[in-house]
Amino acid sequence: MTPSDIQVEEAQSVPETKKVVNDFSIRVATVNGTGSQTSNLVLLRALFQMGIPVTGKNIFPSNIAGLPTWFIIRASKDGYLSHTRDNQVLVALNPETAEEDVHTMPAGSAIIYDEPLKLDRLRDDVVFYAVPFNKLVAPICRDPKLRKYVRNMIYVGVLAHLLAIDKDEIARALNKQLGRKKKALEMNWAAIEVGWQYAQQNLTKRDPFLLEPMDRNWDKILIDGNTAAALGCIFAGVTVVSWYPITPSSSLGETIIDYMKKYRIDKETGKATFAVVQAEDELAALGMVLGAGWAGARAMTATSGPGISLMAEFSGLGYYAEVPAVIFDVQRVGPSTGLPTRTMQGDLLSTAVLSHGDTKHIMLFPGSAWECYTMALEAFDLAEEFQTPVFVMSDLDLGMNYWISDPLPYPDRPPNRGKVLTEDDLRRLGRFERYRDVDGDGIPYRTIPGTPLPAYFCRGSGHNEQAEYTERPDAYVRNMDRLARKFETARQRVPAPEIIDSSGARVGIIGYGSSHYAILEARDQLRARANLETAYLRIRAYPFNEQVEAFVRRYAPVYVVDLNRDGQMRALLKLDLPAELASRLRSVRHYDGHPIDARHITDDILSQEASL
Amino acid sequence: MSTTTTSPKLNRIGLPLAAYKGGKTTLCAGCGHNAISERIIEAFFELGVDLQWVAKFSGIGCSSKSPAYFLGGTHAFNGVHGRMPAVATGALLANRRLIGLGVSGDGDTASIGIGQFVHLVRRNVPLIYIVENNGVYGLTKGQFSATADLGSMLRNGVVNDLPPIDICALSIELGATFVARSFSGDKKQLLALLKAALSHRGLAVLDVISPCVAFNDHEGSTKSYKYVKEHDEPLGDVHFIPSYEEISVDYEPGTTRDIRLHDGSHLLLSKLPEDYDPTDKMAALRTLEEARKKGEHLTGLIYINTNSKDFIELLNLTDEPLATLPVEKVRPPKEALDEINESFR
């Protein structure tokens, strides 16, 4: 059933046949800095606890208070966890955007609005519910300063009643959000009650949207990608973290600090088994990470595009001097300051070759909050195994939004610390040469300071196998060729792509990162709408392994889904694949700063298929 | 093989001076930096420093090449221009037992790297930070640096019309805990200051005027050998007495200060100007300013504070090096992850 099919019902109860259950989305339009994020997370969490597959997308401004912000909560009985532009319930609380918000809703929508805005005059094909928020909040909150925050909790109560959200789950969710703050908890609960009672006494249900408990989430967790990534770093055994605050990566650094304080203070001595430094800038952040990595620590930083640009010089040093480092790039919209609170996969091309000269970096592409965790574990192993910076390419959508996920798995193997020379190695090899490829995989042995093993001079200037300064052409070429060989070895060691082959498929889709769930849904839409069967390959790392080439050989055309204007992954594939395959690659691009939705992919592919 | 019967002099850990030497210098003959390298070799040899624990750091420039020319058997990290402080900070956090020795230049510290230098000072990272200061860019053939004095002249006659950054004054202002200036030509003073720096807990800033024979050693330069010799204004004499030796020198009372360093060594400052208190920040800044007005290079230990916590203590780091902590110390148990997962349900 689509919203346009819905007849506006006058009756208080919705007839069974007209019900839309667990298959619609709520758009909450508020002003930022008014605590609406807390209200929205209470709603999101309550739905999660009811066992309904649910996603939340926070579309927020780069501002502390006063600009428009939207939060989209999608319930999907079919389990689609991607963003949607098709919303059926609107909470209109921002006077500045209210009219436009109302006009974007499809016919048959339900709109809850702040009574003084008089939005009901705008349309007659939707259901309006007026709620006098200011009148309701006054008696429960005496402090005018707190009122603007508490006021936003009222719509939670109104929605709970209208949509039949389990009130106990609302209470549990509120407790989860504000559990430690007793006074805030009480005041906010009062606001939810006021909203609920107002709706019960004054609003007649005239829309078909309802939520009912399901049993889908009993073994799941609800988590944002940055928290998952932070936990991955901690369980990987990170010891040195240096970061500079930048949206949307800041919560990664802050979450590491929170958990480190809880789980990484030595119980016997009361001392820290970690160092976290808020650096003066991103240059210093990566500099400290390289210093720590060189000295043998597991070290990382987290940043976003502008920070990546600043880290260019040090990234080249890390590549050339062969120092392990883990860099989380929680990508946002560029170029320049761009749209700092919006999402993009915009740093692929620049990061793949970040720095001057011939450089190539390993990149990992988490496609879920779960992979933000598991790939953090893998990134530290790869960084030490390959003695090189490893970039984990998350983005704002993955990092800052909340996702239903399987529980985070405990690491099943000890950390791989790579080829750190031991005394046995030294006896076996007869001598230590820092940059000699003794095993044929391009990866040399290293020693770390503070041990009796031989030392070496680590430098970003030209060096030979013995780490001695040299400008000899032959030594330079040997070293660069070995680095290229090392990168080839990495192809087989980085996370392999995830492939869904389909026997009846002619068309392939390649995706990566935060577009994963939208692609899964788009494949179903393509099948349902146009009987178009597709195969799907999700890239999980760069360099690509041979399965990527084989996939492109198996299907044509192959649509590469990118959250950027220039089709950066497609460009990277074109660089890497044999030239004759280039023409098979087509581009589905999305770059307005919002998370990608399935319909965008479906429409784009169908329109390109039609023009074939 | 040597045919002489006299064995070389060994230090207290049984090593000869040769063990502390490095590769052959590629710097110009007569470069002040080479003299500084020699003093570093002597200081580490004489104090019997175990080279396994030494980590050398540098940025980019003539100065930053020099770590290849001393303490050859030690680990070193020659990073990018102006960013040595970050690299050193990371390494010293990774392994708190390392003895960090950083060598930078005036361009590396006072221009491209001043941001990192400033924050290194604020953090009081336990590192000996030597600025080989010649007021000029050598590898790019003779441009002024930000420490060039007002009115100082390049070989081609260009006169510097911007005020200099005084690394010592800046460091004191930012809360540095050990600030000294010396001259590459003053063997005795520089050696004593280097030894004291090795015993200091926290950042030790040594701004060493080190004339550039290729580009800044002419008439009209305020950092030429001739000018510095004529205008070197030592702030008394500096004597270092290591922890394992007894103080056996008598000094005239009133003009001598005995500073006990972190490891039990002593720094004796004699023949100080009357009432000069090197623990008095304002006095130090005033004395530097007065010397600057007179066109003098004030040298010696200018400021010291032995009571501040260094960055390692501030971060409450565990005694074992972070880099080599066993997995059970750095990976919380499965129960911890279970508890965390439960909190997201």
**Using the beta-carbon criterion (under 8 Å), do A287 and B325 form an inter-chain contact?**
no
Structure tokens at A295: 């000295």
**Using the beta-carbon criterion (under 8 Å), do B87 and A288 form an inter-chain contact?**
yes
Q: Determine contact: A238 vs chain B, CB below 8 A.
A: yes
CA–CA separation, A267 vs B336, rounded Å? 14
**Using the beta-carbon criterion (under 8 Å), do A240 and B93 form an inter-chain contact?**
yes
CA nearest to B52 within chain A: A450
pLDDT for residue A438 is more than 70: yes
Nearest to B128 by CA among B39, B48, B188, B215: B39
- Whole-number pLDDT of residue A228: 98
Contacts of B162 (CB under 8 A, 6+ apart): B144, B146, B148, B150
CA nearest to B97 within chain A: A450
DSSP assigned state of B147: T
CA nearest to A455 within chain B: B75
Question: Whole domain around residue B33: which residue ranges?
Answer: 17-328
CA–CA separation, A128 vs B245, rounded Å? 89
**SS3 label, residue B121:** helix
**Using the beta-carbon criterion (under 8 Å), do B68 and A277 form an inter-chain contact?**
no
User: Is residue B335 in some structural domain?
Assistant: no
Contacts A451 to B, Cβ<8 Å: 52
Mutate to test the interface with B, among A217, A243, A260, A280 (most CBs of B within 10 A): A280
Confidence band, pLDDT 50/70/90 cuts, at residue A1: very low
Confidence band, pLDDT 50/70/90 cuts, at residue A179: confident
B176 neighbors B107 (Cβ within 8 angstroms)? no
Structure tokens at A521: 């849904």
Taking chain A, what is the end-to-end CA distance rounded to the nearest angstrom? 31
Give the CATH architecture of domain A223-405.
3-Layer(aba) Sandwich (3.40)
Write out residues 312-341 of A within 8 Å (CB-CB) of B.
Answer: 313-314, 317, 321
Contacts A448 to B, Cβ<8 Å: 75, 95, 323-324
pLDDT for residue B1 is more than 90: no
Mutate to test the interface with B, among A45, A244, A410 (most CBs of B within 10 A): A410
User: Is residue B7 in some structural domain?
Assistant: no
Structure tokens at A423: 């005394």
Q: Determine contact: B324 vs chain A, CB below 8 A.
A: yes
- Whole-number pLDDT of residue A503: 87
- Whole-number pLDDT of residue A7: 42
**Using the beta-carbon criterion (under 8 Å), do A299 and B90 form an inter-chain contact?**
yes
CA distances from A531 to A517, A526, A556, A606 (A): 20, 6, 17, 11
Task: Write out the H or E segment, with its range, that includes residue A234.
Answer: helix A225-235
pLDDT for residue B251 is more than 80: no
- Whole-number pLDDT of residue B255: 76
Segment A543-563 mean pLDDT: 98
Contacts of A485 (CB under 8 A, 6+ apart): A437, A441, A442
User: Is residue B179 in some structural domain?
Assistant: yes
Write out residues 402-461 of A within 8 Å (CB-CB) of B.
Answer: 407-408, 410-411, 414-415, 447-452, 455-461
**SS3 label, residue A471:** coil
Segment B59-70 mean pLDDT: 96
- Whole-number pLDDT of residue B252: 67
User: Is residue B338 in some structural domain?
Assistant: no
Task: Determine the distance from the C-alpha atom of residue A403 to the mean position of all C-alpha atoms in its chain, rounded to a whole number.
Answer: 9
User: Is residue B343 in some structural domain?
Assistant: no
* Structure confidence by residue, pLDDT tens digits, A378-403: 999 999 999 999 999 999 999 999 99
Segment B257-276 mean pLDDT: 91
* Sequence-ordered strand ranges (E) for chain B: 54-58, 75-78, 99-105, 127-133, 136-137, 143-144, 178-183, 204-209, 232-234, 237-241, 257-260, 266-270, 297-304
Give the CATH architecture of domain A3-210.
3-Layer(aba) Sandwich (3.40)
Q: Determine contact: A275 vs chain B, CB below 8 A.
A: yes
pLDDT for residue B2 is more than 60: no
pLDDT for residue A482 is more than 80: yes
Helix, strand, coil tally for chain B in percent (to 5): 35, 20, 45
From 3.40.50.920, 3.30.70.100, 3.30.230.10, 3.40.50.720, which CATH number describes the A498-610 domain?
A: 3.40.50.920
CA distances from A423 to A11, A426, A446, A450, B27 (A): 83, 5, 12, 14, 36
- Whole-number pLDDT of residue B246: 84
* Structure confidence by residue, pLDDT tens digits, A149-177: 999 999 999 999 999 999 999 999 999 99
User: Is residue B236 in some structural domain?
Assistant: yes
- Whole-number pLDDT of residue B281: 97
Q: How far is A227 from chain B (nearest CA, A)?
A: 11
CA nearest to A238 within chain B: B330
User: Is residue B336 in some structural domain?
Assistant: no
Contacts B316 to A, Cβ<8 Å: 270-272
Confidence band, pLDDT 50/70/90 cuts, at residue B5: low
**SS3 label, residue A15:** coil
Segment A28-33 mean pLDDT: 94
B278 neighbors B200 (Cβ within 8 angstroms)? no
What value does the mean pLDDT of chain B take?
95
**SS3 label, residue B70:** strand
Contacts A407 to B, Cβ<8 Å: 341, 344
CA dihedral over A430, A437, A470, B21, signed as positive or negative:
negative
Nearest to A399 by CA among A346, A352, A342: A342
Using alpha carbons only, give the angle A149, A369, A156 rounded to the nearest 5 degrees. Answer: 25
Could you tell me how many residues make up chain B?
A: 345
Which domain CATH number covers B262?
A: 3.40.50.970
Neighbouring CB atoms inside 10 A of A85's CB total 14
Write out residues 26-65 of B within 8 Å (CB-CB) of A.
Answer: 51-55, 57
**Using the beta-carbon criterion (under 8 Å), do A314 and B83 form an inter-chain contact?**
yes
Task: Report the half-sphere exposure of A204 (CA within 13 A, side-chain side).
Answer: 6
CA–CA separation, A389 vs A419, rounded Å? 15
- Chains A and B: how many Cβ contacts under 8 Å? 215
CA–CA separation, A493 vs A489, rounded Å? 7
Nearest to A467 by CA among B104, B67, B50, B86: B67
Contacts A293 to B, Cβ<8 Å: 90, 94
Contacts B321 to A, Cβ<8 Å: 296, 450
Taking chain B, what is the end-to-end CA distance rounded to the nearest angstrom? 74
- Whole-number pLDDT of residue B3: 54
Contacts of B135 (CB under 8 A, 6+ apart): B106, B144, B145, B147, B148, B149, B152, B164, B212, B216, B221, B222, B223
B272 neighbors B257 (Cβ within 8 angstroms)? yes
CA distances from A322 to A298, B54, B78 (A): 14, 20, 13
CA distances from A43 to A52, A205, B34, B325 (A): 12, 19, 69, 43
Nearest to A202 by CA among A132, A99, A123: A132
- Amino acid of residue A156: V
pLDDT for residue B253 is more than 80: no
Q: Which of A317, A450, A469 sits opposite B79 (nearest CB)?
A: A317
CA–CA separation, A1 vs A19, rounded Å? 9
Segment B264-270 mean pLDDT: 94
Nearest to A26 by CA among A39, A14, A13, A16: A39
Confidence band, pLDDT 50/70/90 cuts, at residue B7: confident
CA distances from B25 to A293, A464, B41 (A): 29, 18, 13
Contacts A296 to B, Cβ<8 Å: 94-95, 321, 323-324
CA–CA separation, A157 vs A153, rounded Å? 7
- Whole-number pLDDT of residue A5: 42
**Total of domains in chain B:** 1
Neighbouring CB atoms inside 10 A of B7's CB total 8
User: Is residue B11 in some structural domain?
Assistant: no
DSSP string for residues in A276-327? EEE-SSHHHHHHHHHHHHHTT--EEEEE-HHHHHHTHHHHHHHHHHT--EEE
- Cis ω on the peptide bond leading into residue B242 (within 30° of 0)? no
CA–CA separation, B42 vs B48, rounded Å? 10
Burial of A266 (0-12, 13-18, 19+ CB in 10 A): middle
CA nearest to A449 within chain B: B75
- The domain ranges of chain A are 3-210, 223-405, 423-491, 498-610
